[in-house]
Amino acid sequence: MEFLAESGQKIWQVLPLSPTGYGDSPYQCFSAFAGNPLFIDLRALLEQGLLSADDLTNAPTFPEEYIEYDRVIDFKQRLLRTAARAFLEGSAQTDRRLFVTFCENNSDWLDDYALFMACKRVHKDAAWVHWDAGMRRRDPAALRKWKNELSSEIEIHKFSQFEFFRQWENLRARCTRRGIRIMGDIPIYVAHDSADVWAHPELFRLNEQGKPTAVAGVPPDYFTATGQLWGNPLYRWDVSAISGHRWWIDRVRASLKLFDLVRLDHFRGFEAYWEIPGGASTASGGKWVQGPGAEFFRILQTELKELPFVAENLGVITPEVEALRKQFGFPGMSLLQFAFGNDPQGPTFRPHNYSRELVAYTGGHDNDTTVGWWTSAGVGESTRNAEDIRDERDFTRAYLGFHNEPVNWVFIRTVLASVANIAIIPLQDILGLGSDARMNLPGTVSGNWKWRYKQKALTKEIGEQLRRLTLLYDR
């Protein structure tokens, strides 16, 4: 936050902040409403007297440049449980009132989430479709039984959520004072193994055993020749509409309490989505199905008034998708990395074709870093061949008119100099890092979402260079 403020930046974009599940992906979370307890600052718990100095002094040594999720989860969950017990057994009256109020104000999702996580622990982290039949079907008698038996465990999960949101509110307030807005992210789909699907099975395409009959993904594209099989259960939009899309309204409202603006993931899925049969091994056998469309956004707008969305309109984008986006005035996205290849939509990513109502990026979390993209052979990370890569590099040099300058700063300068109202640069590109710092490789299920920056990497020199360009182009 201090680096962003000192370098003149005004928007901090983050990935989804929910508790990650399968593959540690922030797009496969245990809840669309909860916060990820791994983000909780343990030092704040020490200051509150909920942890001892020994708890942190004896912490293991973790890698600086990537996250070892298994070790971090084991270590941090143990200390969060210790802090939760200390809080629940002896917290000050003021904090206790704040906790009770938080639980009451968020009961519509918190009660289900805390029970879901408590049950997962009892069932040794098995997906909810493998729980005992009563809990799987949410029989009232089974719910009462488990709530009583797991009451202490449920309170621990509620405390973690209380502390997450308390710390986040403090951070956001500090950002606001420094003139920094935070852009969040609403994934269009939720994980099958989540409190959302377990608590609201009627909203999803499931069979009697609770398994998906149709799942999400995208057709063959730049990244994979067989498409991307995400595996998230698809919505029953007709059922959602009967309630006036109440679950979605609650979800968006919760996000807007956390963020100043929101990236709406996979926007094209609201116009039409790629439906893949449940149990399919690839996404190639799917088909396009009409989404909820304009009526969905009209309902959201009526209920919530302002929709500060940025539409992630990447991929197979049709005139109908763009018409829907423009109808509601959502700015789209453009990634400079996509401007120079043989994609038929390539010209739309070139800065001379940008519109004002656009968020311009050097790259995104599904892309290689700019340095990694520039130096890679393309094998395994996209559908490009060696000739495609040569042509792409030649065109990039000709278009951007550079020779030996660092490619990441050429890209940064280009998006900052564009007419797009907003320009956002992944931190990996500001630091000039290669493929080792890539955040995600679509179509793979492990090894992603692990990158972290070194504490001393954000140097004064990098900040000054970024600030000079920011001021030069009136950003």
Any idea how long the chain is?
Answer: 475
- Looking at this protein, which amino acid is placed at residue 379? V
Q: Roughly how many angstroms between the first and final C-alpha of the chain, as a whole number?
A: 17
Q: What b/e string do you get for 180-198 counting C-beta neighbours within 10 Å, with b at 16 or more?
A: bbbbbbbbbbbbbbbbbbb
Cα 116 to Cα 195: distance, rounded to the nearest angstrom: 6
3-state secondary structure of 312: coil
- Looking at this protein, which amino acid is placed at residue 383? T
Which pair of structure tokens corresponds to residue 166?
């308390």
- Choice among 303, 357, 366, 391 that is catalytic: 366
Q: What b/e string do you get for 270-304 counting C-beta neighbours within 10 Å, with b at 16 or more?
A: bbbbbbbebebebbeebeeeebbeeebbebbeebe
113: nearest Cα among 83, 142, 150, 154: 154
What burial class does residue 54 get, using C-beta atoms within 10 Å of its C-beta: 0-12 exposed, 13-18 middle, 19+ buried?
exposed
Which pair of structure tokens corresponds to residue 203?
């909203």
CA distances from 241 to 104, 195, 236, 254, 309 (A): 27, 21, 9, 19, 21
- Choice among 193, 312, 381, 429 that is catalytic: 312
Cα 428 to Cα 425: distance, rounded to the nearest angstrom: 8
CB 23 within 8 A of CB 152: no
Note if 312 is an active site residue: yes
Note if 265 is an active site residue: yes
Question: What's 202's DSSP letter?
Answer: G
- Choice among 265, 275, 322, 388 that is catalytic: 265
Q: Which residue has the tokens 């982290």?
A: 125
Which pair of structure tokens corresponds to residue 160?
């973690």
Note if 322 is an active site residue: no
Cα 248 to Cα 242: distance, rounded to the nearest angstrom: 12
Q: Hey, which residues are catalytic here?
A: 265, 312, 366
